[in-house]
Amino acid sequence: MIEAIGIGVVSGVLSSVLILLLATLIRRVFIPWFRSLIYSGVDVSGEWHCIDPFMAQEITINLNQDADSVSGTATFTWNRDYPDESILDDFEAVRTFNVSGKIRDRFLQVMLTHVDRKRIGVNSYLLEVCGDGRTMKGLFTFYSVRSHELDYIYHTLYRDRKTAVRIAEPMREQKRKTYLERMELKEKLRDIEELDDMPDDDEASLQDELDLDGDEELMSSRDND
């Protein structure tokens, strides 16, 4: 009698374990395999690169795709050609984010969250797969750790890093030139304020020129693709 009860208990436990293992196998292996089998959309898995000279960091995104679900990591690396090194006072030279999202009808929507839960870092992309599938273009929205405000910029991501570098190079030179010109204007304005020997109209004109350069740079960054 006791042996029969013991055998029954063991059999029940083994049956429960086998059912649990089978359910896990179906959920983690069979269902993803079947979803991938019937999925007929574009495949965006792999490495993507964004080198935007108007941003202080280059972005590399590694994507894994399971049918219409996308996950992976995004690494933001300090752009050594960026002229303003003081930005490193606000964040590290390398930051890593977890990526998760969906793709539908060649439109990719992903959220980037900081891997360190003690840090605030939320970004998002809405991208369209363009051309022959080697380029994605769209809107990057983010929380600026410098201005403490939500901001956005248009980005183009490339599968090939060499292409990203080649496209960004002319804009990189323009960014550097614009930055140096603004620094020169700021220095002039600072000298004028110290000497206080310029007519108010001329000083206002110089300030307007400085503000205009900043606006043009901002508009260029918004229109960058």
pLDDT tens figures, 9-39: 667 777 777 888 877 877 766 666 666 666 6
Give me the mean pLDDT over the 133-161 stretch.
89
Domain count, the chain: 3
Is residue 101 located within the same domain as residue 176? no
Summarize the chain as % helix, strand, coil (round to 5): 45, 30, 25
Kindly report the backbone phi and psi dihedral angles of residue 142, in degrees, each rounded to the nearest multiple of 5, phi listed first.
Answer: -155, 165
Look at phi and psi of residue 123 and say left if phi exceeds 0, alpha if psi is from -120 to 50, else beta: beta
Return all residues near 102 (Cβ < 8 A) that are at least 6 apart: 68, 69, 70, 108, 109, 110
pLDDT(160) > 90: yes
Is residue 158 located within the same domain as residue 70? yes
Q: What is the pLDDT of residue 19?
A: 81
Is residue 3 located within the same domain as residue 81? no
Query: Are the beta carbons of 98 and 70 closer than 8 angstroms?
Result: no
Is residue 157 located within the same domain as residue 172? no
Q: What is the pLDDT of residue 169?
A: 78
User: Among 103-112, 138-147, 164-173, where is mean pLDDT lowest?
Assistant: 164-173
Tell the burial category of 129 from Cβ atoms under 10 Å away from its Cβ (0-12, 13-18, 19+).
Answer: buried
Is residue 189 located within the same domain as residue 133? no
Query: Are the beta carbons of 158 and 134 closer than 8 angstroms?
Result: yes
Alpha-carbon distance of 189 to 206, in angstroms, equals 7
Question: What is the number of other CB atoms lying within 10 angstroms of the CB of residue 151?
Answer: 13
Is residue 31 located within the same domain as residue 61? no
Is residue 120 located within the same domain as residue 172? no
pTM surpassing 0.75? no
Alpha-carbon distance of 225 to 222, in angstroms, equals 8
Q: Which domain holds residue 73?
A: 46-166
Nearest in space to 106 (alpha carbons), one of 72, 132, 142, 124: 132
Q: What is the CATH number of the domain that holds 83?
A: 2.40.128.30
Alpha-carbon distance of 23 to 219, in angstroms, equals 54
Alpha-carbon distance of 72 to 76, in angstroms, equals 14
Is residue 96 located within the same domain as residue 82? yes
Is residue 51 located within the same domain as residue 16? no
Is residue 86 located within the same domain as residue 20? no
> Tens digits of per-residue pLDDT, 75-95?
998 877 665 666 666 677 788
Is residue 10 located within the same domain as residue 120? no
Single residue among 166, 193, 215 that ends a domain in this structure? 166
- Report helix, strand or coil for 167: helix
Is residue 53 located within the same domain as residue 107? yes
